[in-house]
Amino acid sequence: MENQNNVTEFVFIGLWGNKKMELLFVFLFLLCYLTVLLGNFIISLTITCSHLMQQPMYYFLCHLSLMDVSYTSTVVPRLIRDLAAARKNISYNNCMTQLFTAHLLAGVEIFILVSMAFDRYVAIVKPLHYMVIMNRQRCNMLIVLAWVVSFWHSIALLLTVLKLPFCGPNQIDHYVCDVKPLLKLVCKDIHVVSILVIANSGMVAVAIFLVLVASYIIILYNLRRHSSAGQKKALSTCSSHITVVVLFFVPCIYIYVLPAGSENKDKEISVFYTVIAPMLNPLIYTLRNMEMKITMRKVWSKVTHSDLN
């Protein structure tokens, strides 16, 4: 059978069918989005305007904040618009663009989390070699590597979807263009493609998550050799990292390891890593981090004094 594509646009079913509930959630998601923007802006400004930018951990945290804002901005503004709209439509080309961009930015965020775990591993397990291993050149290389690997992951996913025939219907049971809800609309057998998607996204997410869990177990084990003050500071930092990793990875694994045809709560669960995790990250990284809180006060005090003068 020759591949054909009769679909020029898709229509989102959205999170809920209840219009009154959707209008209520317009304000909730708008508030969440503004919180993401404000929280991550404060973190980025605090780091870039202080000595923290010289430390690898905060260098990666600054990039993570940028990714949180970028990733959420590919999803939430359209979600807010669609919740208020009578018809939730998106063109085929815009849908493919959103699919590629969301996976690219999410991929970069995942590899930044890996880089942050590597940074903590070196700091605690090999403290004498920390400054040599985690120099600025290597940090830059890790960020570039994150973009390159994520690009190839996203382009492979995009090319897979572009080859699929969409003959109708065109209603996506989701609020965002993602590979799994799109596969349900394909007018051919998707068994092989579904396995490829699970391998490309699901199994990769599981493998990275297990590596991160193993690294933090090793880190916590090696904390025995540190002083009580050092243990307290390291535990505070690592607990923040672990919380963010769990918030991001657990929903991703749930969604991408299951086949496309299965009935599950994909669109509800995906809210955790598209909205909730980016909103909570600034709080998680500041509330338990005394150095960050002290620097934040200094930076904002400096900004306030400069404005008054």
44-88 pLDDT, tens digit each: 988 998 888 899 999 999 999 999 999 999 999 998 988 888 788
CA pair distance 219, 19, nearest whole angstrom: 49
Dihedral (Cα; 164, 169, 170, 171), 10-degree rounding: -130
Any idea which of 1-5, 124-128, 190-194, 252-256 has the lowest mean pLDDT? 1-5
Would you say residue 136 has pLDDT above 80? yes
CA distances from 75 to 92, 106, 141 (A): 16, 11, 28
Q: What is the mean pLDDT of residues 269-288?
A: 84
Would you say residue 1 has pLDDT above 50? no
Q: Exposure of 278 by Cβ count < 10 A (0-12 exposed, 13-18 middle, 19+ buried)? A: buried
User: What's the mean per-residue pLDDT of the chain?
Assistant: 85
Q: What is the mean pLDDT of residues 178-190?
A: 84
pLDDT of residue 305: 62
Any idea which of 25-34, 81-90, 122-131, 232-241 has the lowest mean pLDDT? 232-241
Under CATH, what is the fold of the domain 9-307? Rhopdopsin 7-helix transmembrane proteins (1.20.1070)
Token readout for 81 is 């618009």
CA pair distance 85, 28, nearest whole angstrom: 16
Which residues 6+ apart lie within 8 Å of 120 measured at CB? 57, 215, 216, 219, 234, 237, 238, 241
Which of 230-234, 256-260, 278-282 tops mean pLDDT?
278-282
DSSP state of 186: B
More confident residue, 123 or 145: 145
* Selection from 250, 271, 158, 236 nearest residue 202 by Cα: 250
pLDDT of residue 33: 93
* Selection from 246, 125, 100 nearest residue 254 by Cα: 246
DSSP state of 223: G
Residue 4 · residue 188 · CB < 8 Å: no
Share of the chain above pLDDT 70, in %: 91
